[in-house]
Structure 1
Amino acid sequence: MNAWTFESQPGALGDTTVTLVEGGSFCVCSSSGDIVPGGAQGVYHADTRLLSRWELRVDEARVEPLRVITAEPYHATFLGRTGPRPGQAESTLMVIRDRYVGGGLREDLTLRNMSDEAAGCVITMHVGSDMADLFEVKGGHAHHVSAVETAADTSGLLISAPARSRGARVVTDPMPTAVPGLLTFRAVVPARGEWVVTLQVNPIVEGEETPAWFSTQHGIEHAEPARRRADWDRLSPVITTSNRTLAQVLDRSRQDLGSLRLFEPDKPGEPPSVAAGAPWFMTLFGRDSLLTSWMALPLDQSLALGTLRRLARLQGRADDPLTEEEPGKILHEIRLGAHSSASPFSSHAYYGSVDSTPLFVMLLGELRRWGVHEELVEELMPHVDAALGWITRSADPFLYYRRKTDHGLLNQGWKDSFDGINFADGTLARPPIALAEVQGYVYAAYIARAHFAEEAGDQAMEEHWKRHAERIREAFNERFWLADRGYYAMGLDGRGRPIDGLGSN
């Protein structure tokens, strides 16, 4: 199973790159709004790159970028201008690209004529797609393959990759002249007037086409992402401070957190879970989503509620060495891309995480300590006990990790790069490894379960989990403390030796 690691991410996207996100969809493009092929730029949905090229030309020339305005995480306005018109010394034609990302793409393209003479223009949009899986992009293996077909149809362009059950339809209003890979509009922009075209990219997943979330069928303000964003702004706590910098940081953090929320289309009333990060981690991760929703408890407890429920539905039930699924285990990440050699199990959950499972129990305990969601505890208690069953089957008293096959993550804690866990002399620690912070999560999980038992009046169960907590606490202080160094070891290696590299998670 391939999984995301820091060293295998795409290279730096550059300072001029613009990223827009909404749910599991995102767009990475240049400051002009163009998506230039050959790198990591594109429009992504369901872990698939729907568009790898989206380049605008006016009279066969590029548009000069002037400014980018990002009003919301899913919306940007790209301002540019064409070259001077015939007989003019300066440009008189402004180009405005209003782009909305979510479940595909919507772009409202406006040409605004500043002169007293009508402008005759040929506008072309070069469109390309490799239908690459995210894992192909991050591994640098994405390339256009013959299996991707592009054809003109009555609405614009139809892009399909039958072997991957993925595709996209480009719809425009007004209608263009369309040939594979190219949309052409012949326009007359009135003097002191405007010409407007709307382009919409609808994803096709498993043969089913769905309209982009900012559909032309309704106003932008009525789109589901816009309504959810307005509710988030309206219902979020207001923090007042005289420190302007702190106020800006808090406001930006609130906006960013709102943009990381993940909603499940088939569960419209369900609270959202939270993604691990934009743009490449806009999906559910065990560790990252649990930690983020835990830290966000003072702001919005629904993120923890939604994350816990979704992870519970995906909790391990069987033994599968390839995905590292085990009964009771909480997943590391889930990917939705098409089956490909770069990501053979990307349509399934991957469970190669040692800390997601204790964090699951710990977060439910923290949520209950806020004095709410008693019914959630009852709902999730079987999942809590299944998670603790996985922990106690593996921990004696410490919880170690070791991947099941050579396709999994070598290191399965927060530092999950292959060289992230090392001794002070630089020697890499070899699994099985017991990480320091993971033992803290296990301790917190035991304490949480003891609190649940106390609330239920089950004194025997309460004492049982308190003994587990006391045992791991005493053993940790004995085995992990490096008296000669004055700090705790990062972990224990497969031979039980303290990993004395100085680091922090």
Structure 2
Amino acid sequence: MLTNAMPATEDDKYHISADSVNADERIKVLNHFDSFGIFDRWGNIQQQGKMVHGIYHEGTRFINQLVLLINNEKPLLLSSTIKENNDILSVDLTNPFLQRCNIPENSVHISRSQFMRNNAYYEKITCIHFGEQNCSFELSLLFDGDFNDIFEIRGVKRKVNKPPVSTHHTASTLAIQYHGLDDIPREAQISFTGTLPSGISSNRATFNISLVPQQRVEIQYAIFFKSGADARPPLSFEEAELSIQQEFGKISKLFTAITTSNEQFNHWLTRSKSDLLSLLSQTTYGMYPYAGVPWYNTAFGRDGIITAMETLWAAPEISRDVLWFLANKQAGALIPEKDAEPGKILHETRLGEMANTGEIPFKEYYGTIDATPLFIMLAGMYYERTGDRNFIRLLWPHIKAALIWINDYGDIDGDGFVEYKNKAENGLANQGWKDSFDSVMYADGELAEAPIALCEVQGYVYAAKSYAAKLANMMGEPDLSVILFVEADQLKQRFNEQFWDEELQCYVLALDAQKRPCRVVSSNAGHCLFTRIAHTDKAAKLAKTLLHKNSFAGWGIRTLSAAEKRYNPMSYHNGSIWPHDNALIAYGFSLYDLNSEASIIMQAVFEASLYIDLQRMPELYCGFERRAQEGPTAYPVACSPQAWSVAVVFMLLQSCFKIEINAIRKTVYLNQPQLPAYLGEVTVMHLMLNGEPCSFRLSLHAGDVMLHLLQKPSDWELLIRK
């Protein structure tokens, strides 16, 4: 992800400008696959400079104006909401005083039902007259499109002159067209069905409405997004409406059903599941969780992998598809301008004009140090969860290529640690998950010198080699298995010797080019528990450091301790709080039997969700200390929904249950599960084990967790240790 802490500099050229979002507006977001829309509460899209409002497809804003007017006035807002399944924006409006026919305000109910499908936006407008006399009014829809690339809206300055946008219309259609600098024609085709407009001009469709009391009229239209030679036939309004529930029902079966005795927690689960399903995009290689709306509505390697890890116990098919997508995008050659090297796993891919023309390097970009070991780690975790040998056999050449990359390219100076230094001229300077230009520093606040070896990356490599060693044994390569086990053990020993700082009671953030430690307390260190690279004697010390008031703000663990020179609670990576970061740390705590510490994080994140609109966990929020009777402070341009954020509830529950599913041994093991007082009972239904359901209930009685087995496959064991 990219930062926006200060005005853009050459070092910070991909920052997201804070004024790209109007903080006073409560936006409504609809998304589906490669398309998403950002609306105001009226269901409108207003032209406001470079504001992010609009309808986007494949990285381009096709529509930057969509405004409903009644007699050229803005209707009065009654309410608006995103429905529970995250599919439809429902807006209730009414009329102001209609002078033309002397109709008082609140006489005509105007409802808008808006939704997205992958290459189209659909809307149904219904008007019902509740007044006592006939009325007539003009209903207008204003449209416009600018075809700006998402990076333009983020604030990246372009040095080219864009071609003009043109419009064409018929009696029932309006087309907004643009032929890009990448030689791709793009078009937003607006088509009306049923009640047709009384007139259409270059940017306006007008309807002359006459209603008697209790009469209703419906207007339906769709905006189809055409890009290049895309020949997909658009769905009709009725087909698109029907497909919503069909699709939701199909993919919702991916998830284990979880309910609790706490209705607020249940709502968080439902919202999180709905948000995650809305981000699951169908690709050639299966479903992939796009990172987040609006800035990252595309495939990111690291984000997809961590989202898959968070949901693995409850929805393993997501992990399978993530692995297969990334395997097929794995770099096969050395391409410096893409930061690509043989065996390396993708960082991100983009489809917009600026990526196609090379103005930004992200069409297929590999500038990430951690996606490759995380890929191997996920493969090992997936095999343990599912026992899917056939899939691992397909994946094995890709896993081996990734292992070769770690040793041949990841370890730049041959010291046994994996480092990064970007090669692409326009690439990312920092290539860990905190990829802001200023996210890696020394204790005095100066920025670290590359190549940089991040602490959490060494943990990912350790876990990758440990899992790969087991897979190699299964694949009939015992010699490779031994080598990998030895390399993992050696890395763990050297890591704990060189990265642990006894004075800080924490692993240092990184080692620089001269192997000087970046002696700062950061959340990165918590990932060393998640990967189990930390020695047991250091785990409790690290947990105490991370839960100290300098790091733990009450809503979660900050990315950077408040005691550090670069601490800023409003920064992207130097003091903010990231839900996914906290979920990984909580799970790490649970792996070292730090159960109460894991519960502290889970409670903090859950309570934060109660203050956040829709209980939709955003990409991040500010790291200010928790204040009584106030929620967390929002970060101005955080993505929401964001895949690895909405998925945290599943990993937090996993850290609470301490559930381990091992398909090789056919066991479900609950190792001293914990239930907080606010979750007196949790029911898990249809946890799929090799295609057969397992269901159980955990309940809290006098401080003890009781297990009630409801069903399981006959050849599996469900074990609990109290």
Q: TM-score range by the shorter chain?
A: over 0.9
Distance in 1, matches of 2:356 and 2:239, equals 39
| Cα contact 1:165–1:338 (8 A) shared by 2 | no
Output the TM-score relative to the length of structure 2.
Answer: 0.66
2:187 equivalent in structure 1: 167
| Cα contact 2:360–2:426 (8 A) shared by 1 | no
Distance in 2, matches of 1:502 and 1:342, equals 41
Whether 2:309 is the aligned partner of 1:294: answer: yes
State the Cα deviation string for residues 124-157 of structure 1 (Å, max 9, x = none).
1111101111111111659995521111135311
Whether 2:165 is the aligned partner of 1:148: answer: yes
| Cα contact 1:338–1:347 (8 A) shared by 2 | no
Tell me how far 1:24 sits from its aligned partner: 2.1
State the Cα deviation string for residues 441-492 of structure 1 (Å, max 9, x = none).
1111111111012213432111111111122112211211112222111110
Distance in 1, matches of 2:58 and 2:499, equals 43
- Structure 2 residue matching 1:195: 3-state secondary structure: strand
Matches within 5 A, 1:40-439: 40-71=52-83, 72-86=85-99, 87-102=102-117, 103-139=119-155, 146-163=163-180, 164-173=184-193, 174-176=195-197, 177-208=199-230, 210=232, 215-216=236-237, 218=239, 220-221=241-242, 223=243, 225-234=244-253, 236-264=255-283, 267=284, 271-339=286-354, 344-345=359-360, 348-394=363-409, 395=411, 396=414, 397-439=416-458
| Cα contact 1:337–1:346 (8 A) shared by 2 | no
Percent identity, aligned pairs only?
29
Q: Counterpart amino acid of 1:198?
A: Q
2:559 equivalent in structure 1: none
| Cα contact 2:383–2:389 (8 A) shared by 1 | yes
Q: Counterpart amino acid of 1:41?
A: H
- Structure 2 residue matching 1:36: 3-state secondary structure: coil
Tell me: CA distance 1:335–1:110, structure 2 relative to 1, closer, same or farther (3 Å).
same
| Cα contact 1:331–1:356 (8 A) shared by 2 | yes
| Cα contact 1:482–1:489 (8 A) shared by 2 | yes
2:594 equivalent in structure 1: none
Distance in 2, matches of 1:110 and 1:425, equals 62
Q: Counterpart amino acid of 2:295?
A: W
State the Cα deviation string for residues 178-199 of structure 1 (Å, max 9, x = none).
1111112222233211111111
State the Cα deviation string for residues 319-353 of structure 1 (Å, max 9, x = none).
22221111111011111112469963567211110
Tell me how far 1:303 sits from its aligned partner: 0.7
Distance in 2, matches of 1:152 and 1:137, equals 28
Tell me: CA distance 1:190–1:141, structure 2 relative to 1, closer, same or farther (3 Å).
farther
| Cα contact 1:489–1:499 (8 A) shared by 2 | yes
- Structure 1 residue matching 2:256: 3-state secondary structure: coil
1:466 equivalent in structure 2: 485
2:41 equivalent in structure 1: 31
Q: Counterpart amino acid of 2:149?
A: D
| Cα contact 1:133–1:343 (8 A) shared by 2 | no
2:585 equivalent in structure 1: none
Distance in 1, matches of 2:247 and 2:186, equals 27
| Cα contact 2:512–2:518 (8 A) shared by 1 | yes
Which residue of 442, 455, 474 maps to 1:455? 474
2:465 equivalent in structure 1: 446
Distance in 1, matches of 2:349 and 2:163, equals 28
State the Cα deviation string for residues 420-447 of structure 1 (Å, max 9, x = none).
1112221111211000000111111111
- Structure 1 residue matching 2:261: 3-state secondary structure: coil
Tell me: CA distance 1:10–1:230, structure 2 relative to 1, closer, same or farther (3 Å).
farther
Greater displacement, 85-94 / 410-419: 85-94
Tell me: CA distance 1:160–1:121, structure 2 relative to 1, closer, same or farther (3 Å).
same
Tell me how far 1:85 sits from its aligned partner: 2.6
Distance in 2, matches of 1:280 and 1:88, equals 44
Distance in 2, matches of 1:110 and 1:186, equals 14
Distance in 2, matches of 1:340 and 1:284, equals 14
Greater displacement, 235-244 / 185-194: 235-244
Greater displacement, 307-316 / 336-345: 336-345
Distance in 2, matches of 1:89 and 1:381, equals 71
Q: Counterpart amino acid of 1:203?
A: F
Tell me: CA distance 1:343–1:245, structure 2 relative to 1, closer, same or farther (3 Å).
farther
Greater displacement, 305-314 / 253-262: 253-262
- Structure 2 residue matching 1:312: 3-state secondary structure: helix
Gaps of 5+ in 2: 6-14, 525-722
- Structure 2 residue matching 1:262: 3-state secondary structure: strand
Q: Counterpart amino acid of 2:445?
A: G
Distance in 2, matches of 1:78 and 1:346, equals 39
| Cα contact 1:331–1:350 (8 A) shared by 2 | yes
Distance in 2, matches of 1:494 and 1:235, equals 45
Tell me: CA distance 1:209–1:83, structure 2 relative to 1, closer, same or farther (3 Å).
farther
2:589 equivalent in structure 1: none
Tell me: CA distance 1:209–1:199, structure 2 relative to 1, closer, same or farther (3 Å).
farther
| Cα contact 1:271–1:302 (8 A) shared by 2 | no
Gaps of 5+ in 1: none
Distance in 1, matches of 2:178 and 2:246, equals 33
Which residue of 516, 519, 530 maps to 1:500? 519
Distance in 1, matches of 2:132 and 2:432, equals 65
Tell me how far 1:122 sits from its aligned partner: 1.4
Q: Counterpart amino acid of 2:16?
A: Q
